[in-house]
Amino acid sequence: MATPDSIREAMKAQPFQPFSLRLADGTEYFVKHPDYISMPPARRPREVFYFRFTNGGSEEYQTHRIDLGLVSEVIFPTIAAPGPTRDNES
């Protein structure tokens, strides 16, 4: 289970790196910007709020209230490591 501290670390990372919250049922919420997620400042919060725009560039959005007890992990997208390099031999 993900902890509030692990989510806070992901939210406040500098520079920010997009991440996903995976719930126990397999649902994932992709957080592409730190403004799209909020957590109460309590020491032991019970929920996190996730905001998602509904129509591309419009101002309409949905708010998802997510029970922290259901968040199983914080996932950072894997970045492909560059392959081995070889110096040009003459």
Q: For residue 14, what is the domain's CATH number? A: 2.30.30
Is 17 part of any domain? yes
Model pLDDT, residue 43: 87
Is 89 part of any domain? no
Instruction: State the average pLDDT for the chain.
Output: 87
Model pLDDT, residue 54: 85
Is 88 part of any domain? no
Host domain of residue 16:
4-75
Please list, in sequence order, all residues whose beta carbon lies within 8 angstroms of the beta carbon of residue 52, skipping any fewer than 6 positions away.
Answer: 29, 36, 61, 62, 64
pTM exceeds cut of 0.75: yes
Angstrom distances, CA of residue 21 to CA of 1, 24, 53, 56: 11, 10, 17, 21
Q: How many domains does the chain have?
A: 1
Is 64 part of any domain? yes
Q: How far apart are CA 7 and CA 11, in angstroms?
A: 6
In this prediction, residue 38 has a pLDDT band, given cuts at 50, 70 and 90, of very high
Q: How far apart are CA 31 and CA 68, in angstroms?
A: 15
